Amino acid sequence: MSEKLVIAPYQRHAILCTGKSCGEQVGLLKFFKKRIEEEGLAQGDTSVRVNRAGCLGVCAQGPIMVVYPEGVWYSDLDEAKMEQIIQGHLKGGEVQQALAFHAQA
């Protein structure tokens, strides 16, 4: 019998596209992960789980990132906008509507 898989609890899941049409923004992913760590959002019940995707199926106005459980999609990201999302959404709990192009109702 295989061992039961366990992952640490988290509050939000942020998935950044690093695919070709989003400019393969590995540097932006590294910046985002570093800032999540620095802001104390990397561990614990209120933490943000960060992953990358090869394509999120939008392929325009990238880099694209989606954040769950809200189902908010952000576009055209750079470090300044990521910082706004970290402070306003991931820490402050307010979806950054000016940066978002879609949110689940």
Binding site for ligand FES (CB under 6 A): 17, 19-22, 55-59, 62, 64
Helix (H, G, I), strand (E, B) or coil at 53: strand
Q: Which is nearer to ligand FES, 19 or 47 (CB)?
A: 19
CA dist., res. 28 & res. 25, Å (int): 5
Tally of CB atoms within 10 A around 67:
22
Amino acid at 12: R
Question: C-beta of 86: minimal distance to ligand FES in Å?
Answer: 20
Provide, rounded to whole angstroms, the least separation between the CB of residue 18 and ligand FES: 8
Smallest distance, ligand FES to C-beta of residue 44, A: 29
